[in-house]
């Protein structure tokens, strides 16, 4: 797909008898029928999908982050269990195990956890409603597309730099939007997505080897020593 700039590849099972296809793949046949694709005669458009991420917010064995009172479990967390890849079905197992150990820790700490301070009211008296909601939708779509194309399965330094350049541009646009218009859920989520995208690209740029799910054309070899690429804030 990358080489050809194609939107999808195709699977073709039309050489098998229709009865065979329908009895072996009844659900997929029915689902695709709804999209106007008859898999006994038509080709099936396919694209790769991401099943999981590696890395995330660093936590200890109880799912505790370094911000007091904040726990992270599941896909968002970096527990150290998975290394540079995930074996099948470990993701859900991790959710269950860490949910349990986090709940145990919360129960133990509960009485000592400080109540959050009262937050100041959000002052939106100086901003107006956006008349250009389409900007958010467009940027959201653009972010998804270039993260998939440049930070997907096969990476290269040039692709990562391209992605970072676009992230910078989008960040600038979103900051401006943020200052002038009322915030909406979509705008907040877009800002969060951009932040996560930036962290993923920065991490990928630091890794000068290919390991697990991280494969880069510029450094196809495996380093002798596995070194995690953990990002910490500058003022930490």
Ligand X SMILES: Cc1cc2nc3c(=O)[nH]c(=O)nc-3n(C[C@H](O)[C@H](O)[C@H](O)COP(=O)(O)OP(=O)(O)OC[C@H]3O[C@@H](n4cnc5c(N)ncnc54)[C@H](O)[C@@H]3O)c2cc1C
Which residues in this chain contact ligand X in the complex, by CB under 6 A? 49, 51-52, 74-76, 88-92, 95
48 or 228: whose CB is closer to ligand X?
48
Q: What would the two tokens of residue 32 be?
A: 């695709």
Which residue's entry shows tokens 């939708």?
137
Min separation Cβ 72 and ligand X, Å: 9
- The residues pairing with 78 across neighbouring beta strands, listed in sequence order, are 58
The distance of closest approach from Cβ of residue 234 to ligand X in the complex, given in angstroms and rounded to an integer, is: 27
**Is 43 or 196 the residue whose CB approaches ligand X more closely?**
196
Nearest to 103 by CA among 78, 130, 71, 76: 71
Token digits of residue 202: 């920065």
Nearer of residues 87 and 113 to ligand X, judged by Cβ:
87
Report the residue closest to ligand X, judged by CB: 74
Closer of 81 and 205 to ligand X (Cβ)? 81
Q: Closest approach of Cβ 93 to ligand X, in Å?
A: 6
Shortest spacing between CB 92 and ligand X, in angstroms: 3
Q: Which is nearer to ligand X, 91 or 157 (CB)?
A: 91
In angstroms, the CA 79 to CA 204 distance is: 18
Distance (Å, rounded) from C-alpha 212 to C-alpha 153? Answer: 11
> Quick one: 95 or 205, whose CB is closer to ligand X?
95
Minimum distance of ligand X from residue 191's CB (angstroms)? 12
In this structure, what are the phi and psi dihedrals at residue 57, rounded to the nearest 5 degrees? -75, 125
Assess contact for 182 and 127: CB atoms under 8 A.
yes
The strand pair at 44-46 and 9-11 is best described as antiparallel
- Return left, alpha or beta for 68; rule: phi > 0 is left, psi -120 to 50 is alpha, else beta: beta
């Amino acid at each position: 797909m990358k080489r050809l700039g194609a939107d999808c590849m195709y699977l073709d099972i039309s050489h098998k008898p229709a009865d065979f296809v329908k009895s072996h793949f009844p659900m997929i046949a029915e689902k695709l029928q709804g999209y106007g694709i008859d898999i006994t005669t038509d080709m099936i458009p396919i694209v790769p999908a991401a099943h999981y991420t590696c890395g995330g917010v660093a936590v200890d064995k109880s799912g505790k982050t370094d911000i007091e009172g904040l726990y992270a479990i599941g896909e968002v967390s970096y527990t150290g269990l998975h290394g540079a890849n995930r074996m099948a079905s470990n993701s859900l197992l991790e959710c269950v195990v860490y949910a349990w150990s986090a709940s145990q820790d919360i129960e133990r700490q509960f009485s000592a956890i400080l109540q959050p301070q009262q937050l100041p009211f959000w002052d939106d008296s100086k901003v107006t409603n956006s008349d250009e909601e389409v900007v958010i939708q467009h940027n959201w779509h653009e972010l998804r597309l270039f993260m998939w194309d440049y930070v997907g399965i096969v990476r290269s330094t040039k692709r990562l730099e391209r992605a970072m350049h676009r992230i910078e541009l989008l960040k600038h646009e979103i900051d401006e939007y943020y200052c002038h218009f009322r915030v909406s859920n979509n705008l907040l989520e877009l800002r969060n997505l951009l932040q996560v995208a930036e962290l993923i690209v920065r991490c990928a740029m630091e890794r000068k080897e290919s390991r697990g799910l991280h494969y880069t054309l510029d450094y196809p070899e495996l380093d002798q020593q596995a070194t995690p690429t953990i990002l910490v804030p500058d003022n930490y």
